[in-house]
């Protein structure tokens, strides 16, 4: 439950709070403002199936301790007001009762739904959230751009594509079969992660083999070399 707030209304001070996200009004001050006995109205609500009431702690002015008081949601307050005959209240109270019946729900709901002025801490927190979100978006965009660029480069042929044996010979790397299988597997993982299409080329010994851009082979070699160093 939120803290109790004071809502000015036609010269009165309504006490309200949020309970499970719904506005509730303390019954006693609202009824006393209309010259109606709050206790009899609270008893009346006990027999109504449509009534939604709660006991909430309220700090009474001049009292050290909080007291539990009956509060009703806005719908219950409106239905209760509708049961009060305007012809049975004091003449000077009649205009206020009519105002309560017509306007009180809107005033209370607006108080809790219209954005309230934010503190400097709230403003700073919102600014930091925006900065962090922008940084995260920029990082994500950079990764996507890198992958997209790699795919475009491959499609447009700006990078040379090689099979494992051909690129290993070109770079002076080991060419034994076991090494080339490991190198090819790693380069394939890198290429697929970057969104590159699998490209095959005819090989005299192995039939069709996969080929990948030079940068995939370079990265695969660095990964395997690092693993060997750790081992």
At 158, the pLDDT band (50, 70, 90 cuts) reads very low
Q: Is the dihedral of CA 101, 106, 109, 112 positive or negative?
A: negative
In this structure, the dihedral spanned by the alpha carbons of residues 36, 39, 42 and 46, taken in order and rounded to 10 degrees, is: -130
Task: Tell me the C-alpha to C-alpha distance, in Å, between residue 201 and each of 23, 140, 174, 175, 197.
Answer: 71, 34, 21, 18, 13
CA 213-216-188 angle, to 5 degrees, is 95
Residues 6+ apart with CB under 8 A from 52: 72, 73, 75, 76
For the stretch 95-129, pLDDT in tens is 999 889 888 888 888 888 765 555 555 556 666 66
Element housing 53 (H / E): strand 53-59
Q: What is the mean pLDDT of residues 167-186?
A: 89
Give me the residues paired with residue 202 across strands.
Answer: 208
Whether 151 has a pLDDT exceeding 60, the answer reads: no
- Residue carrying the six token digits 């990265």: 219
Q: Do the beta carbons of residue 14 and residue 29 sit within 8 Å?
A: yes
Per the model's pLDDT, the better-predicted residue between 66 and 92 turns out to be: 92
Whether 157 has a pLDDT exceeding 80, the answer reads: no
CA distance 179 to 176: 6
Residues 6+ apart with CB under 8 A from 51: 45, 72, 76, 79, 80
Model confidence, pTM: 0.47
Q: Do the beta carbons of residue 213 and residue 156 sit within 8 Å?
A: no
Q: What does the pLDDT read at residue 226?
A: 86
């Amino acid at each position: 439950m939120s803290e109790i707030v004071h809502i000015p209304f036609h010269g009165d001070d309504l006490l309200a709070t949020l309970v499970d996200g719904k506005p509730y009004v303390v019954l006693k001050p609202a009824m006393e403002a209309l010259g109606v006995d709050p206790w009899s109205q609270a008893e009346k609500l006990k027999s109504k199936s449509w009534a939604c009431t709660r006991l909430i702690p309220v700090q009474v002015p001049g009292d050290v301790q909080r007291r539990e008081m009956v509060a009703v949601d806005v719908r219950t307050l409106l239905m209760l007001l509708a049961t009060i005959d305007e012809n049975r209240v004091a003449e000077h109270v009649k205009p206020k009762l009519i105002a309560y019946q017509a306007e009180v729900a809107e005033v209370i709901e607006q108080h809790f739904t219209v954005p309230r002025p934010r503190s400097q801490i709230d403003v700073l927190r919102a600014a930091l959230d925006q900065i962090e979100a922008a940084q995260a978006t920029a990082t994500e965009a950079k990764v996507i751009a890198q992958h997209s660029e790699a795919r475009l480069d491959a499609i447009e042929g700006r990078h040379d594509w090689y099979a494992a044996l051909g690129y290993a010979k070109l770079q002076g790397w080991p060419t034994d079969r076991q090494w080339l299988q490991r190198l090819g597997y790693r380069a394939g993982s890198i290429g697929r992660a970057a969104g590159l299409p699998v490209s095959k080329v005819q090989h005299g010994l192995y039939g069709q083999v996969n080929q990948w851009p030079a940068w995939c082979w370079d990265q695969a070699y660095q990964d395997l070399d690092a693993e060997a160093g750790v081992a």
